[in-house]
Amino acid sequence: VCIHRVRSCSSIRFIKSKYVCVFDKSALKFSHQQRLFRTSAVSCGQIVQFKLSDIGEGITEVTVKEWYIKEGDSVSQFDSICEVQSDKASVTITSRYDGIIRKLHYSIDDIAFVGKPLVDIEIDASKGVASEEDVVETPPMSHDEHTHQEIKGHKTLATPAVRRLAMENNIKLSEVVGTGKDNRILKEDILNYLAKQTGAILPPSPKAEIVPPQRKAEAVPAAPKDKARKVPVPVSRPIAFAGKDKTEPVTGFQKAMVKTMSAALKIPHFGYSDEIDLTQLVQLREELKPLAEIRGVKLSFMPFFMKAASLGLLQYPILNASLDENCQNITYKASHNIGVAMDTEQGLIVPNVKNVQVCSVFDIAVELNRLQSLGSAGQLGTSDLTGGTFTLSNIGTIGGTYAKPVILPPEVAIGALGKIQVLPRFNSKGEVFKAQIMNVSWSADHRIIDGATMARFSNLWKSYLENPASMLLDLK
């Protein structure tokens, strides 16, 4: 039936060029026999020239600055069509008709004239020119494609796509609060409405159970508790999930990660993890924090971790090295430029503190503060982000215990630090005591680093941190 109509329509086209036959494209998307049949009966539309209306203040011409639609798009009455500018005034032009855009009369930066056609819109011949009259609300089950539905004397504005969504989910538009312009109902409003419906079926949140019954209150506190306990009977209708996949190009910080991590894949990683008792370090930091604050610096654990790592690298310099492309030569780097993984709004960034081998713990703290404020402002420079030789990632500030960090080329090792937890441990006397435990997970390049080296480095690093006083002996 449908194909037959196409043929008959195209023959009409040659006879009467004034009318162009078109199928409502949206109807074709759904193989809904009923709907197709109906809309195919009103397939021939009329092209109306929508003229640029008076702007006011005697203005006769404007510059077209942005189009919100393109040829072929379907629009509803009151949808924004374009933005024009005239003498410091920016004007949003909205459509007066429902239909499909057939022609844009101007390009961006062209001068448009008041009273002359702006766009050509093809409207449904059956509906005629959309008028401002109210339309009686139709029951939601109806497949009628009315442009407007009435809620208590007011028009409900919604695009055809939104109305379809509501119809598919058996939602009455009158029950949905619109948050768009002129209280227009948007797709988000339908989805929010749906979410509220599904929420009624989920079990009550645990919070409701915490309300203590022995509180000497009246029946009132008990009532809400009861209400929360009552699980509403699940509605039998199927909840249609209307979410759509969204594809976007990989750009920015993610593009940088793709580059770096793809190169890291070439490195054969091995992992080594351990547990560090930071009880003494925690105490030490508590004592030193106020001193640093007086000097205007925030002292975290990282400066200690970094200084201890640098001391360790002095004994095991192969962990601060770089392997060339052909795996022919190892370059032992003199500087310990220790990178610190930073989580910013845009994504992962790894600036490094230069020459940790000649810095005091306080120096490192100062530099970290500087890098952190630049990082959060998105103002790190190239020198801050290049030249790293070894990296530490304090993922524990967000959470986690053991991790599997990825080495950042051209480096050969990396450490991920978990969160500090208070756990019971046995001391030398066999007594249980409260210990501040943190886990570390190292990854190293197995082409030039063996497990024994990594283990010994880790043990040395661990000993410095578990007994901070021992750092004093080797501090440079």
Partner 1 sequence: MVLQSLKNCVWLSCILRTPKACFWSAASGGLIIQSVSNDVYQNLAVEDWIHDHMDLEKQQILFLWRNSPAVVIGRHQNPWQECNLRLLRQKNIKLARRRSGGGTVYHDLGNINLTFFTTRKKYERLENLKLIVKALKALRPQLEVHVTDRFDILLDRQYKISGTAAKLGRTSAYHHCTLLCNADKFVLSSVLKSPYKGLKSNATPSVPALVKNLFEDDPSLTSEMLLDAIAKEYAVQHKINHHITLINPADETLLPGISDKTKELQTWEWVYGKTPKFSVSTCLNMAYKDSVLDVKVNMDVKHGRIEACNIDLPEQWLPPGLYSELVKSLTGSKFCPNETTTLLTALLRVCPQDNELHSRWSLLCENMIRLM
Annotated catalytic residues are: 446, 450
3-state secondary structure 46-80: EEEEEECCCCCCCCCEEEEEEECCCCCCEECCCCE
Residue closer to partner 1 by CB (options 62, 438) is: 62
Asked if 67 and 108 touch (Cβ cutoff 8 Å), the reply is: yes
Residue closer to partner 1 by CB (options 63, 300) is: 63
Taking the alpha carbons of 46, 47, 52, 54 in that order, is the dihedral positive or negative? Answer: negative
The CA-atom distances, in angstroms, between 385 and each of 318, 336, 342, 354, 410 are 22, 14, 11, 10, 13
Count of other CB atoms within 10 angstroms of residue 421: 13
| Least distance to partner 1, CB of residue 349, Å | 6
Residue closer to partner 1 by CB (options 380, 440) is: 380
Residue closer to partner 1 by CB (options 88, 237) is: 88
**Cis, bond preceding 405 (omega within 30 deg of 0):** no
- CA geometry: angle at 158 spanning 157 and 163, to 5°? 135
| Least distance to partner 1, CB of residue 428, Å | 45
Beta bridge partners of 439: 275
Residue closer to partner 1 by CB (options 92, 427) is: 92
Say how far apart CA 165 and CA 365 lie, in whole Å.
Answer: 56
Residue closer to partner 1 by CB (options 179, 421) is: 179
Token pair in block for residue 385:
């982000």
- CA geometry: angle at 443 spanning 441 and 445, to 5°? 165
| Least distance to partner 1, CB of residue 241, Å | 23
Say how far apart CA 405 and CA 86 lie, in whole Å.
Answer: 56
Token pair in block for residue 342:
């930073």
| Least distance to partner 1, CB of residue 64, Å | 10
Q: Number of C-alpha atoms within 13 angstroms, CB side, residue 79? A: 21
The DSSP secondary-structure symbol of 318 reads: G
Token pair in block for residue 416:
């991920």
| Least distance to partner 1, CB of residue 192, Å | 12
| Least distance to partner 1, CB of residue 249, Å | 6
First-to-last C-alpha distance (Å) of the chain: 89
| Least distance to partner 1, CB of residue 182, Å | 6
Count of positions (residues) in the chain: 476
Residue closer to partner 1 by CB (options 307, 354) is: 354
Beta bridge partners of 450: none
What residues line the site for partner 1 (CB under 8 A)? Answer: 55-57, 65-66, 78, 83, 85-92, 94, 108-109, 152, 154-155, 177, 179, 181-183, 249, 251-253, 255-257, 259-260, 263, 322, 324-325, 331, 346-347, 349, 377-383, 385-386, 408-410
Residue closer to partner 1 by CB (options 183, 470) is: 183
| Least distance to partner 1, CB of residue 336, Å | 17
Asked if 389 and 374 touch (Cβ cutoff 8 Å), the reply is: no
Say how far apart CA 343 and CA 354 lie, in whole Å.
Answer: 20
Please choose, from the candidates 31, 8, 25, 11, the residue with its C-alpha nearest in 3D space to the C-alpha of residue 124. Answer: 25
Taking the alpha carbons of 349, 353, 354, 357 in that order, is the dihedral positive or negative? Answer: negative
